[in-house]
Structure 1
Amino acid sequence: MKIKFIYITLLSCIALNVSAQKAGVKKADKNYDKFAYIDAIKTYERVAEKGFKTPDMLQKIGNAYYYNADLVNAEKWYSELFAMTEEVEPEYFFRYAQSLKGVGNYAKADEMMAKFNLKSGNDSRGLIAKTKKDYREEIKKNSGRYKIEDAGINSEYSDYGTAFYLDKVIFTSTRDTGNFSKRKHSWTDQYFSNLYSADMTTEGVLSSAGKYGKKLNTKFHESTPAYTKDGKTVYFTRNNFLDGKKGKDANKVTLLKIYKATLEEDKWINITALPFNSDSYQVAHPTLSADEKTLYFASDMPGTKGLSDLYKVDIKEDGSFGTPVNLGSDINTEGRETFPFITSDNELYFASDGHPGLGGLDIFITKLEKDGSFKQVHNVGESANSQYDDFALIINKTSKRGFLTSNRPGVGNDDIYKFLETREIDWDCEQSLVGIVTDANTDAILPNTKLTLFDEKFTKLRDTISGLDGRYDFGIIDCEKKYYVRAEKETYTTKEVPVIIAKESGITELPIELDSAVKAIPVGGDLADVFGINLIYFDLDKWNIRPDAAIDIAKILDVLNQYPTMKIDIRSHTDSRQTHKYNEVLSERRAKSTRDWLIKHGIAAERLTAKGYGETQLVNKCADNVECSEAEHQLNRRSQFIITDL
């Protein structure tokens, strides 16, 4: 009887303990969902210390630290997550890679980024990492250009986001110098941010920091102002709060907006929200172009590629605003692009965790060209960048002095650093892309050939026509970038040729040889073999047409248009993973997707048949239960185009 009683008591204790852990997790989940990350971390960690761990909990602890820019602790918990399982969303491979950089483990970070690229499909962060494997060499080349020192006004809290204002610097701080109503934000466990001012000497020394702009500061967040040259107009970031009224999105979260105010008799008045703000998305961190006709900012508004993108908007003569324009995929990634600053000579600085860096947010630079495009993005190098979050760089191009923010070990959470730029970024590298188009068999020159230039993401940049001598010239292009050139001419097979531009100034010659399309085509032959067309590949468990696959299907389309009586049978295949039945259905969907694409682009339905073969026609050893690499499995996920009639 005594033994039985002890056994029941033990079970009861275990049940109570598990129940308590579940209650703790539930409470932490609520805090997490409300962005109360500090409270969530405390609860999750107490539960984890008692041995109650799940992948979901480890993800959330890692995320809570990651979102608070604590990459050291984020790495600790993501490491536990990946030790438990790698069956996670691709984004966790990216976050783990960033956290590994935060502790200086670049080798493993690069390994995680390679896996991220493999799992994430066409995510530009993975593609950039793949094409910029020598990114640390670029960072090294750009390093040593800044002499950095503590700005002298930092507190134990978060100080960041500076702006030049006449002979002062305005900055953001979560220090609280008031005596009453001290309010902390649950995300960071710090006071709400306000604007502060500091006197600035010609050497960039800051002093006499104090609260600034009584009418601009409220009980919620204010930050990152941008001023007109006359000092009479300011654009600044604030929580969705105006005239005592707080706005919220559908989830009852108060987001960020950009506001405008004007100065009259030393008072900021006429505070208004800009018209492209919304209760449903964030708009923040404004900066003005030198002519004050364009406002740049960060936002996650509809059309944003990542967590936040950089945008620009025209400021019209009457003070109204145009429609915001996304700065495009050369700058924006699926990660965070934020804290833009544009200089008097059109250099655009911004912070990003999507472009390759040293860890967390890094500071990058590009330059606005006369045609509205941007030069290649460069990491500004150490010591401006570190293994921590580095952001919000501003610079006076005349004095070469400026300020940036970093959460590297210092006085407080985020600290402001003053710097002197001792050497500018090297913009001197210029390359021209030229070449000649000839017949692959006869070497005859081919005039009047249409040539189209694409970037590495197959975004069309420009086109031209070869001259009477067969030569073409795309003009000036960026160094150290990968491009594709498509050549099209009647009676010839369309061809795309990749080219990687050199790191030094000069001319890149890219000769292109085209094959005549007038050739014997056997019934039963595969167009991929006859015309040298790549197989159409699909991502794992997908049947949609990938952007790179669309390029090759366009070649099939071109052949079918050249031979209007040709009929083809589309044969789609899968790899051996999943069940035979599942793969049969998946391949049928892929075949139909390919056929539908061709019909949509003008090919008569009766000219096309399509069938899925599942995993019944593998091209290699990768059958069920055979260990194969992802690249080997990829070879089986394909479509073929068999000629059935001419």
Structure 2
Amino acid sequence: MNFTKYFINISLSMLLSGIAFSQEKRMAKADESFNRYAFVDARKIYLQVAESGYESADLFKKLGDSYYFNARLEDAIPWYEKLTTKYADDIDPEYLFRYSQSLKSIQRYEEADKIMEQFNTITGNDQRAEFFMNTRDYLKFIEMQSGKFRLLKLSINSKYSDYAPSFNNQGELIFASSRGGGSGMSKVVHEWNEMPFLDLFSSTIIESNGILQTPKKLKGKINTKFHESSTSFSSDGQTVYFTRNNYLKRKLGSNVEGTILLKIYRATLENDKWTNIEELPFNSNEYSIAHPALSADGTKLYFASDMPDSRGLSDLYVIDIHEDGTFGEPKNLGDKINTEGRETFPYVSDSGRLYFASDGHIGLGGLDIFVTVPEELGEFSIPYNVGKPVNSSEDDFTFVLNENTKIGYFSSNRAGGKGNDDIYSFKQTEELITTCNQYVAGVVTDASSREVLVDAEVFLLDDTNNELQRTVTDSKGRYRFDLECDTSYIVRANKIGYGPTEALLTANNVLEHKHDLALQLSKGGLAEKEVKPGDDLAKLLDLEIIYFDLDKSFIRRDAEIELQKIIVALNEYPDLKIDVRSHTDSRADDDYNMYLSERRAKSTIKYIVEKGKIDRSRVTGRGYGETALINKCADGVPCSDDEHQLNRRSEFIILQK
């Protein structure tokens, strides 16, 4: 044995083990900072560890997150990239979502979409993934929505953080800023991003153009040495709801882990100073409640929170404000608004529209601003991205709008700003798209010659066969119908000398979408054929064979299309009567197959009668089990699944024409 080599190997192993142990100790120290949201301090150590050559999934997660949660999405990309390539089988899918969002920040949309496809495959039922899969042409819609706001010049921003503008209904804009005030800049900085703590400032609005005068700090006890931000004022400007760290009467509160969270407070204006500061009763030390938004009539307060029933990092809630100033119970705004991501910074306009920031709904990157319009029973519509230039590939948030002057403000950390976050002003020049706009269009052609068919009748029916619209094809064989989102339809075409044809169509929830549906008609139909009792109507109409899944009796979607053609024939020939004969394959025992075929016959008859509104006396039928196989696949004969499926069929025998 080579003892020298053995000693060197042991020494090297011990050295590497010592290095790894040392790096793990440094990681543990960084994790302490990370867990109390001191991302900047944690990042310094993580970077040193990474530069030493140490690698782990946890290190890459924390480095990516330390940038991601400080809205430095571009800087997060290299670390999420390392994480998803080197530890693909060992990561939470949430990191795929963060990686996709980060890629959007530098407009790498194709790559971001591919990552979202992976995210959808892994998660399956994540709402963000569902929104993405249903709105694959989201960039097209955002482009259509864009250009409805014109940015204006604004000179009140500092080199620090300025955001959360709100109207105090007294001709001023109130906003949060870390610029400090009074005799000088605060020396206290926040561990999260090493920025000074936020205070509230006011600036008089020049209504004609939205320009703001020199800001001044709010008077009274509303500002403290901790964060104050995101305000909302009563219509008379005498009451304010605002966000602050858990701090009241010089007492600082924290959760069980020692983290200082956010709460909403209320104050009143007396002699031009804010006083009577009180904490709202539904706050908690164990989760944040923040970013209040009053309805115009003052009866409802919207806010963001990560309380226990929240779906994501933060959800939007609403609570009733009673006449005596007391509150009801917080109500989550539900899955239409909230996702597994961040929904935050709500604002309610005078018309009742709810604007908010989200990274869970599909946008351009980071937080985007969305609008949802009020519907019946206090519900809201699906959210609509407000488009560029308000939204960008960075974080865009805290949107407010004066609907009378069409002047508004929002905040963003986009490139070209003066500070960490900046306030932007805008003029709305056009109304936003806030309704789902879908339609179906296509060309009707001859199935054999492919020639376009002019003056063919095309019908739009609901899924219970009620006619909604009808049209005739133009000189190029074209037709078009407007649709409602999330609704099922039947599109039917007919022309003299041709047999009718139908297609099922389901409108999705994509906000702007065209469904292309070409229809082909075959010459003849029953009028051109010799029809006698005993004929199979399906064969006369050249229908695809209607199959059933193994051991199932429900009507498959492909079968629905063919059954609609049976319904058309029954409607076209009022004296026509048919007998539905259902068959199974030879698998399972004889008695069970007879029972199964009976279920299939009843299911088929029920569909024809209920969907087609056909008199029950015109449609009879029963099951035949495996008594009429059409191939060799009897008991004990080896056959493929496709061969067995040929026997799981329905026939439509004409009894009377």
In the superposition, the TM-score normalised over structure 1's length comes to: 0.68
Partners of 2:549 and 2:387 lie apart in 1 by 50
Correspondence for 1:500: 508
Pairs within 5 Å for 1:98-497: 98-165=101-168, 166-177=170-181, 179=184, 182-202=187-207, 203-409=209-415, 410-427=417-434, 481-483=485-487
1:346, distance to aligned residue in structure 2 (A) = 1.5
Amino acid at match of 1:134: D
Partners of 1:505 and 1:307 lie apart in 2 by 31
Partners of 2:300 and 2:425 lie apart in 1 by 27
Kept after mapping to 2: 8 A contact 1:285/1:339: yes
- Cα distance per residue 1:136-172 (max 9 Å; x no partner): 0110001111212452111111111001121211111
State the SS of the aligned residue for 1:129: helix
Kept after mapping to 1: 8 A contact 2:245/2:263: yes
Residues 387/181 of structure 1: CA separation in 2 closer, same or farther (3 Å cut): closer
Kept after mapping to 1: 8 A contact 2:203/2:215: yes
Residues 150/99 of structure 1: CA separation in 2 closer, same or farther (3 Å cut): farther
Kept after mapping to 2: 8 A contact 1:479/1:502: no
- Cα distance per residue 1:554-575 (max 9 Å; x no partner): xxxxxxxxx9x989xxxxxxxx
Q: 2:93 aligns with which of 84, 90, 93?
A: 90
Larger radius of gyration: 2
Amino acid at match of 1:195: L
Residues 334/259 of structure 1: CA separation in 2 closer, same or farther (3 Å cut): same
Residues 60/566 of structure 1: CA separation in 2 closer, same or farther (3 Å cut): farther
Amino acid at match of 1:264: E
1:383, distance to aligned residue in structure 2 (A) = 0.8
Kept after mapping to 2: 8 A contact 1:480/1:502: no
1:427, distance to aligned residue in structure 2 (A) = 3.7
Kept after mapping to 2: 8 A contact 1:359/1:389: yes
Kept after mapping to 1: 8 A contact 2:238/2:268: yes
Correspondence for 2:479: none
Q: How many pairs align?
A: 483
Amino acid at match of 2:552: D
Partners of 1:285 and 1:375 lie apart in 2 by 21
Kept after mapping to 1: 8 A contact 2:131/2:361: yes
State the SS of the aligned residue for 2:142: helix
Kept after mapping to 2: 8 A contact 1:236/1:259: yes
Kept after mapping to 1: 8 A contact 2:63/2:79: yes
Kept after mapping to 2: 8 A contact 1:261/1:268: yes
Residues 19/362 of structure 1: CA separation in 2 closer, same or farther (3 Å cut): same
Pairs within 5 Å for 1:49-64: 49-64=51-66
In the superposition, the TM-score normalised over structure 2's length comes to: 0.67
Amino acid at match of 2:554: F
Amino acid at match of 2:172: K
Residues 481/70 of structure 1: CA separation in 2 closer, same or farther (3 Å cut): farther
1:372, distance to aligned residue in structure 2 (A) = 2.0
Kept after mapping to 2: 8 A contact 1:195/1:213: no
State the SS of the aligned residue for 2:552: helix
Kept after mapping to 1: 8 A contact 2:153/2:425: yes
Kept after mapping to 2: 8 A contact 1:479/1:503: no
Partners of 1:138 and 1:470 lie apart in 2 by 31
Correspondence for 1:22: 24
Amino acid at match of 2:508: I
Q: 2:46 aligns with which of 19, 44, 47?
A: 44
Partners of 2:483 and 2:129 lie apart in 1 by 20
Kept after mapping to 1: 8 A contact 2:384/2:434: no
State the SS of the aligned residue for 1:115: helix
Identity %: 44
Amino acid at match of 1:187: W
Flag as ranges the 4+ runs of structure 1 deviating above 6 A. Answer: 1-12, 430-433, 469-473, 501-506
Partners of 1:215 and 1:137 lie apart in 2 by 48
1:424, distance to aligned residue in structure 2 (A) = 1.5
Residues 319/526 of structure 1: CA separation in 2 closer, same or farther (3 Å cut): same
State the SS of the aligned residue for 2:101: helix
Q: Structure 2 unaligned segments of length 5 or more: list them.
A: 441-461, 470-481, 490-503, 518-547, 558-591, 597-639, 642-657
Residues 101/429 of structure 1: CA separation in 2 closer, same or farther (3 Å cut): closer
Residues 223/502 of structure 1: CA separation in 2 closer, same or farther (3 Å cut): closer
Kept after mapping to 2: 8 A contact 1:479/1:501: no
Residues 353/480 of structure 1: CA separation in 2 closer, same or farther (3 Å cut): farther
1:481, distance to aligned residue in structure 2 (A) = 3.3
Kept after mapping to 2: 8 A contact 1:362/1:391: yes
Partners of 2:350 and 2:432 lie apart in 1 by 15
Correspondence for 1:595: none
Amino acid at match of 2:431: E
Amino acid at match of 1:86: A
State the SS of the aligned residue for 1:363: strand
Partners of 1:428 and 1:83 lie apart in 2 by 40
Partners of 2:132 and 2:165 lie apart in 1 by 31
RMSD: 3.6
